[in-house]
Structure 1
Amino acid sequence: MTNTSVHSHTPHQEHHLHSSDFISDIVIGMSDGLTVPFALAAGLSGAVANSSLVVTAGIAEIVAGSIAMGLGGYLAGRTEADHYSSELRREINEVETVPEREKEEVREIFADMGLSPALQITIADELSKDKAKWVDFMMKYELGLDEPDPNRATKSALTIGLSYVVGGLIPLSPYFLISNPFDSLLYSCGITLICLFVFGYFKSKVTDQPPVAGAFKVMVIGALAAAAAFGVAKLIS
């Protein structure tokens, strides 16, 4: 009797992190957004008598910080796109003017992969028949460059800037509700340190680092920055 197995072969699934640029931008914006306004609010809490001053300075810092961070993200995105375009033009020119040298580079790439000399020659000859694919191959495997998203710079600027605003409003939120800056600081510390821990845990997860250790590291850095700012403001005042 033929026994039909109820267990079918489960296809192998590979789990890769998608939208890594987007996640990196959120990490950049949120980490600074949580830490810098938190340290500023803590420092001012040791020097002023009313929370409204902390709120005013905090909002001004968030606006300036989000614009500066967003602009930095935009410029980084544009630099990446410009670098890719420059290298692409150079590679197209080399394929046209020194094709034999480019074929030799293709053979060297496959030699490093362990392919036989005969296969190296065959693949290089086949690849050279389609210049567009040949250039794409050289960009990726010789230079290690992937074509960037044409909207990367704008997306990066918006993502980093908005993440900074969201992160910055968290430590500032108690100052909107409580007039005594020292009482506000206590609530701000509690809320922000929890958020820093959660953020650090998530950040470590997506970057494949030990999550608990990463969470504590991010939280301690934020706490030290705030404590330093508060201490300096107390000393000066």
Structure 2
Amino acid sequence: MATIDERRHLDAEKQRLLNQHKEKHFTAGEIVRDIIIGVSDGLTVPFALAAGLSGANATSSIVLTAGIAEVAAGAISMGLGGYLAAKSEADHYTRELKREEEEIIAVPDTEAAEVAEILAQYGIEPHEYAPVVNALRKKPQAWLDFMMKFELGLEKPDPRRALQSAFTIAVAYILGGLVPLIPYMFIPRATDAVVGSVCLTLAALLIFGYAKGYFTGNKPISSALQTALIGAIASAAAFGMAKAVHP
């Protein structure tokens, strides 16, 4: 059994090694996901709406009014959707936490067997995981955290996550949604403004798609082209349908 000095030495050595090896992991995945959701919809939906109204020979003022109304409604809807999704995730975690806590108290032997089974899946032998199981049984909170993470695959959500998600998605939607409308603010004729809107929005989609690919670990150029293609198809479909209905 290690002495106090030996344990201190091991702890100091462990800390030294950890300090020498600083891993660079991207940890803002949830925020990036919200931004992607907001901006991608914000760029595409108002873009398609503006193109469709332009195809129906609407004036720039009408396109701008309808576009701003859509951006406002879309931001509220998307933000509310993000809030409810994050809130549901937090509620699910709370329910599972309570259920797992009750099981640890009611059937500790069964839960201990589940710990052993989880460790065995990693190739750890019974004589190796037995001390770990016994140690966890002496620490209920650590045991509960272990079961939530390794049995259920659930991470404790940030209590502020729901509001942050709603705000991030809404703001991202507004920023993305205003881009296709900018030309209509300065060009009176919608048929002329739509050309500027197309060019500006496709450029924004390419930049956004590249950034999305970069931050999510995908091929940035491929992501940029795919994102721009989706926006182009949506706007072309809206413009074509409007022209067909209102030649």
Give the shorter-chain TM-score range: over 0.9
Superposition map of 1:155-166 within 5 A: 155-166=164-175
Which AA in structure 2 matches 1:200?
G
Could you give the per-residue CA deviations for residues 81-118 of structure 1, whole angstroms, max 9, x where no partner exists? 00000000000000000000010011111111111111
Which AA in structure 2 matches 1:149?
D
- What is the alpha-carbon distance in structure 2 between the residues aligned to residue 140 and residue 232 of structure 1? 50
- What is the alpha-carbon distance in structure 2 between the residues aligned to residue 49 and residue 224 of structure 1? 21
- Counterpart residue number, 2:11: none
Q: TM-score, normalised by structure 2?
A: 0.90
- Counterpart residue number, 1:103: 112
Q: Does 1:123 align with 2:126?
A: no
Give the 3-state SS of the residue equivalent to 1:88 in structure 2. helix
1:48 is displaced (CA, Å) by: 2.7
- What is the alpha-carbon distance in structure 2 between the residues aligned to residue 162 and residue 218 of structure 1? 20
Gaps of 5+ in 1: 1-8
- What is the alpha-carbon distance in structure 2 between the residues aligned to residue 211 and residue 183 of structure 1? 31
Gaps of 5+ in 2: 1-16
Select which of 161, 182, 191 maps to 1:182: 191
Which AA in structure 2 matches 1:84?
Y
- What is the alpha-carbon distance in structure 2 between the residues aligned to residue 74 and residue 33 of structure 1? 17
Q: Does 1:213 align with 2:211?
A: no
- Counterpart residue number, 1:204: 213
Give the 3-state SS of the residue equivalent to 2:124 in structure 1. coil
- Counterpart residue number, 1:30: 39
Could you give the per-residue CA deviations for residues 47-99 of structure 1, whole angstroms, max 9, x where no partner exists? 13410000010011001101110010000011000000000000000000000
Superposition map of 1:10-159 within 5 A: 11-159=20-168
Q: How many residues align?
A: 229
Give the 3-state SS of the residue equivalent to 2:114 in structure 1. helix
- Counterpart residue number, 1:4: none
- What is the alpha-carbon distance in structure 1 between the residues aligned to residue 171 and residue 205 of structure 2? 17
- What is the alpha-carbon distance in structure 2 between the residues aligned to residue 131 and residue 193 of structure 1? 55
Report the more deviating stretch, 15-24 or 94-103.
15-24
- Counterpart residue number, 1:3: none
How well do the aligned residues superpose, as a CA RMSD in angstroms? 1.3
Contact 2:57 2:191 (8 Å CA) reproduced = no
1:160 is displaced (CA, Å) by: 0.3
- What is the alpha-carbon distance in structure 2 between the residues aligned to residue 80 and residue 133 of structure 1? 22
Give the 3-state SS of the residue equivalent to 2:157 in structure 1. coil
Q: Does 1:169 align with 2:200?
A: no
- What is the alpha-carbon distance in structure 1 between the residues aligned to residue 123 and residue 152 of structure 2? 19
- Counterpart residue number, 2:5: none
- Counterpart residue number, 1:225: 234
Give the 3-state SS of the residue equivalent to 2:155 in structure 1. coil
Could you give the per-residue CA deviations for residues 131-171 of structure 1, whole angstroms, max 9, x where no partner exists? 01100010000000000000111110010011000000000
Structure 1 stretches of 4+ with a deviation exceeding 6 A read none
Could you give the per-residue CA deviations for residues 187-223 of structure 1, whole angstroms, max 9, x where no partner exists? 1111110110110111111111111111100000000
